[in-house]
Structure 1
């Protein structure tokens, strides 16, 4: 009888161990990814970035997306939206590289160097870096641009055939000054007098010095006209309650490309930053992340279908 009891106890222990093992397997994510900080030589300065790669199979080529942040932001973006997007993409087998433009985030360059020309150059520096890595599928390269980052994305995509798919979030659209008109009214005279204008933002401790060249290049910008050269696909995402860059901008961009290659996603009740923050002046996350999560999911799903 003792032998039988011991045998039963041993059997029960084996079953319990098996159940624990199964539970552990179920809790283990089916994806893994790595994050790597990079410093890209752009000539006058280095461009900081974070490269995220999903787990690779031997000999596998993977698609990759470059993320371009908006004005007075940085590579992780407001509410860490780009960091969160990088993880979402990695789960679907997509790599990403998010960068800091000159003078922002971890960049050691002077912000006075930031303008449309240098931002395009920083983006192409990132693309060139990716091209030199053997693991990336060079026929499946994309861009994401947020706000002014969306304008930079358009400028790059219009002249760089490597871009096959692009997503814009709350993007600046149009030739010339467009949505920057009030900004010009307030700061352009100062920039002409001093060579730069000191601009304060409520969510930043230090102001940014906008160089005169930034103002002049915005005035002469032809991004909307030049987008006729872009042959890839586009998803434009905009909030219906965006008062900074009204959603009609994204509608214009999609209409200019046509329904065969461009899609519009209007996010109901969303502001310029898709309601990711509870208070934009304090950079505090909103408790309800439903809207930003829907933007992240839709962006990821769209790339999975088109890139």
Structure 2
């Protein structure tokens, strides 16, 4: 069951959908469900490229998870102008979504998982390092150097125009100097040390948008933490959005098995008493 939602974040209204696990006619809902929150990437939306997030959510709900997909301000059906804010605004919006999720009676607060794709992966890392409500992280093709990576996407000429005039049009989005300056202010690879939960990173070798080398770099930095595990999987010939059926099936299989295993381990530990 899909439930449309609107979440107030400052002056913005974030549009989203909360998806519940299906029930047979003779079943009753569980008291608590683990929750997956999906963070989309640069100028993306809650559906994902080629319905990536829609497909992921449909499969996750069938496995017994609540899923919350939402549009960042200025994207999809949310109000606002995406390029007028900064990376700090995306982090704040994600935390506002966490506020909403934490207030739902059906949510197991010990199993809130952020799934972030591309720039959404960096936002997920930066959010988790600031918010202890995030218990696990899944990063798909994550950005590691926000300014450099977005510069490579929009082009050097656009960056020069922003420096010269204060703004630039990219794919009908007006990107401001505040936006690009904020990208340079955040460093996910160093700030991730503030997060002590478990992490899965999945990247494709044919990703021409974000280098596959980042998954190795991220894992190395996560391993330097005092707490928390980090697993990674590299999918051969997969592109940035895992666009082929085989790539996507592989992505989902890796991700869902990992999430299930994390939940099982947490449940097993809860059976122990001191």
Say how many residue pairs are matched: 255
Q: Partner of 2:109 in structure 1?
A: 138
**Superposed, which structure 2 residues align to 1:55-74 within 5 Å?**
55=22, 57=28, 60-74=31-45
CA deviation after TM superposition for structure 1 residue 76, in Å: 0.8
Higher Rg? 1
CA deviation after TM superposition for structure 1 residue 244, in Å: 1.3
Q: Partner of 2:198 in structure 1?
A: 233
| Structure 1 alignment gaps of length 5 or more | 1-33, 201-206, 277-288
Tell me the secondary structure at the aligned position of residue 48 of structure 1: strand
What is the CA–CA distance in structure 1 between the aligned matches of 2:236 and 2:65, rounded to whole Å?
Answer: 28
**The one of 82, 99, 110 aligned to 2:53:** 82
CA deviation after TM superposition for structure 1 residue 181, in Å: 4.1
Q: Give me the CA root mean square deviation.
A: 1.7
What is the CA–CA distance in structure 2 between the aligned matches of 1:256 and 1:166, rounded to whole Å?
Answer: 14
What is the CA–CA distance in structure 1 between the aligned matches of 2:220 and 2:174, rounded to whole Å?
Answer: 35
Give TM-score, length-normalised by structure 2: 0.88
Asked if 1 retains the 8 angstrom alpha-carbon contact of 2:151 and 2:159, the reply is no
**The one of 110, 116, 123 aligned to 1:152:** 123
Q: Partner of 1:298 in structure 2?
A: 254
Tell me the secondary structure at the aligned position of residue 303 of structure 1: helix
Asked if 2 retains the 8 angstrom alpha-carbon contact of 1:184 and 1:215, the reply is no
Q: Partner of 1:213 in structure 2?
A: 178
CA deviation after TM superposition for structure 1 residue 194, in Å: 3.2
Q: Deviations over 1:184-216 (max 9, x none)?
A: 62222222333321013xxxxxx1111211100
| Structure 2 alignment gaps of length 5 or more | 264-274
**The one of 236, 261, 264 aligned to 2:232:** 264
What is the CA–CA distance in structure 1 between the aligned matches of 2:262 and 2:96, rounded to whole Å?
Answer: 24
**Residues 1:51 and 2:51 are matched in the alignment:** no
Q: Partner of 1:194 in structure 2?
A: 165
Q: Which moved more, 1:37-46 or 1:101-110?
A: 101-110
Q: Partner of 2:218 in structure 1?
A: 253
Query: Which runs of 4 or more aligned residues in structure 1 lie more than 6 Å from their structure 2 counterparts after TM superposition?
Result: none
Q: Which moved more, 1:53-62 or 1:236-245?
A: 53-62
What is the CA–CA distance in structure 2 between the aligned matches of 1:46 and 1:99, rounded to whole Å?
Answer: 11
Give TM-score, length-normalised by structure 1: 0.79
